[in-house]
Structure 1
Amino acid sequence: MGALEGRVAIITGGGNGIGAAVSRYFAKEGAKLVINDLGANPDGTGGDAGPAERVAQEIRDAGGEALSDGGDIADVATGERLVAAAVDTYGKLDVVVNVAGILRDKMIFNLEEKDWDAVIRVHLKGHYSTLRPATAYWREQRNPDGNYRIINFTSASGLHGNPGQPNYAAAKMGISGLTWSLARGLGRYGVTANAIAPVAATRLTATVGADPADGNPAMSPDNIAPIVAYIASERSSWMTSRILAAGGNHVGLYNLPEEVAAVDNDQPWTFDGLAEAVEHDFRPIADGVPTNGPWTPGD
């Protein structure tokens, strides 16, 4: 019996790259799937329902169960349709995996409004599109032990910052915040929410030099699928509100954001007093140098 036997999952962006690898792996582990992919170009233009259907047909030919959908994931009607398809066809929904995304890379001073809006729309509204109806469905089940799973896709571009990807970085960091919010708000309904920051060669990364055809096994999207499947399984109920890195044979756990230093005063700050305090306590940390002990007024 597979690790996902009987689990029902929606996978967006499931016709290409990481999404297709996740779809195949989930099916191998026994999941029943609704696979969405607009089949657009890496910049989000165009559309072709073929990729999602090809992966779904491949799964069916191997004895699995999969439906395909070629809709625009940033259209809320698409997300509602995916949730309805899962429940109507398979009788339930257990997992939502939001992989779909696009790139329109430029430095911020060359970035046109339409390219900002398109990337934010696909990534952030695309997540909203599936998650609003999915979480409404899970809330209706009133099952705190439901083992429902949200698996979002963030990126090191947002977590660390890539200079030529301000729109993509903003969207991906927004997904991180979304994931933390969902984890805090939905636990009572049996839902966990986590995010993956992947490293793999795909059609998208080919636009910035990581060719998916270069044959490097460490860059295969297949390497991302096992950790996604683990989070989707019932075994992962202990994990929520976390971001994990995945690529090659590496899986990493990011720390949660935390305050690492503070300065306090017994009266309102003056400019010079505050400047002295933050330069004493914050600047060494920012520069990677140990502090010389806590700042005190008059230092």
Structure 2
Amino acid sequence: MSESPSFRSGFVAIIGAPNAGKSTLMNRLIGEKIAITSKKPQTTRNRILGIVHRPLCQLAFVDTPGVHKAGKILNQRIVEAALGAIPDADVVLWLMDVSRSFSGENDMILDHLKSFKKPVILGLNKIDLVARPELLKWMEHWNSRFSFREIVPVSALAGDQLDILLDVLEKYLPEGPPLFPEDSLTDMPMRFIVAELIREKVLRRTGEEIPYSIAVTIESFQEGGPGEKAEIHAAIHVDRDSQKGILIGKGGSRLKQIGIDARRDIEELVGKQVFLKLFVRVQKNWTRDTRAMERFGY
């Protein structure tokens, strides 16, 4: 009589260069938006946990910031947060964007991974954007440079081959009971996710001069009773006076649109109507002030 399969659970660190599609992949895998996305580099600044439940497995994905050559103190902390997820993971999923040329960031990650004895799965993302010969070139190049357990081509945006990716990752997780309740999707506080959704809308509604100098804090969060709106007051912090005017826009138009965009996503997240009030505050040179960075969660 054959034994029934054992349950597996563990942590999967998703690492990669900026804009490799890490947050898009995690959102797609868990079926909810808990990690923000945009086309701008360094969109993700913190490690974010997303949980996937399968019949015989629970995978706790850790979405990490993009690894890049960091000059500023804030960016150095962002990279440290990304690479710091590797020692605690059971499996590392290294995600690469095959629609872009080979990058120096991937060489940085390669050098770092060589010092850890972790199972590493290579995920080649955005396969819907390249022809097969180009994909094979990526597979041959990286297979010759590192001993990956397996290589899985995927498209996070289109959802291609994600079940295959989960099957592969599941094999390398240790046997053990679930780590989180079966109805949980993340361990991130609601305030954190709301602040991130607001920051995402700022990234998408502003030019290059604003995104890297903002932080968002939730000043108050009143959930409200049955049939009542939730009320949220949030502050968007910039590090120069000139940025405040850009963010607010003519007659407050840009800030109003950011609020409309953010409220739509927040209402979907909390499952009720939301009154959202946004403020813009100047915190001089906060991206170079370690105490301010710590207050904003970096």
Superposition TM-score tier, normalisation by shorter sequence: 0.3 to 0.5
Structure scoring higher RCO (CA < 8 A, sep ≥ 6) equals 2
Which structure: larger Rg? 1
Structure with the higher fraction of residues in strand conformation: 2
TM-score, scaled relative to structure 1: 0.37
TM-score, scaled relative to structure 2: 0.37
